Amino acid sequence: MRNRILALAALAVAIGAPLAAQAQSSVTVGRVVDGAPTIAVEQRPAFREYVVEQRVPPFRIPDRVVVGATLPEVGVTYYDVPQRFGATTYRYTCVNGETVLVEPRSRRIVEVLD
């Protein structure tokens, strides 16, 4: 009986460990989109100041600015994120007064920073 309880406990740990690890990796969802790192939460105020200092011209679209939206092929200028804000493959731009991170190939908004 004791061996059976220990075996069940070991089985529960073996099954639960990957689930617990998966749950812990979801903690970083705010910083990681599709596996590429974005700007850390604690660095966002400094990044917003940087964008204002750069005087990035805003682009206007008739739609709402939401994650997953695709920006037009023409008229939008994308800028590199400086290394001091973290290495990322994304670019940034300003759309409808909001700073967004964009996947440059697909032009898909991956994060709205404002």
Task: Encode pLDDT of 51-80 as tens digits.
Answer: 999 998 989 999 889 999 999 988 899 999
Between CA 83 and CA 95 the distance in angstroms is 22
Q: Report whether 103 contacts 110 (CB < 8 A).
A: yes
The CATH classification number of 31-112 equals 3.10.450
- How would you classify residue 69: left for phi > 0, otherwise alpha for psi between -120 and 50, otherwise beta? beta
Where are the chain's structural domains?
Answer: 1-28, 31-112
In this prediction, residues 8-25 reach a mean pLDDT of 53
pLDDT tens-digit readout, 17-49: 554 444 443 233 344 455 566 888 889 999 999
The pTM score is 0.66
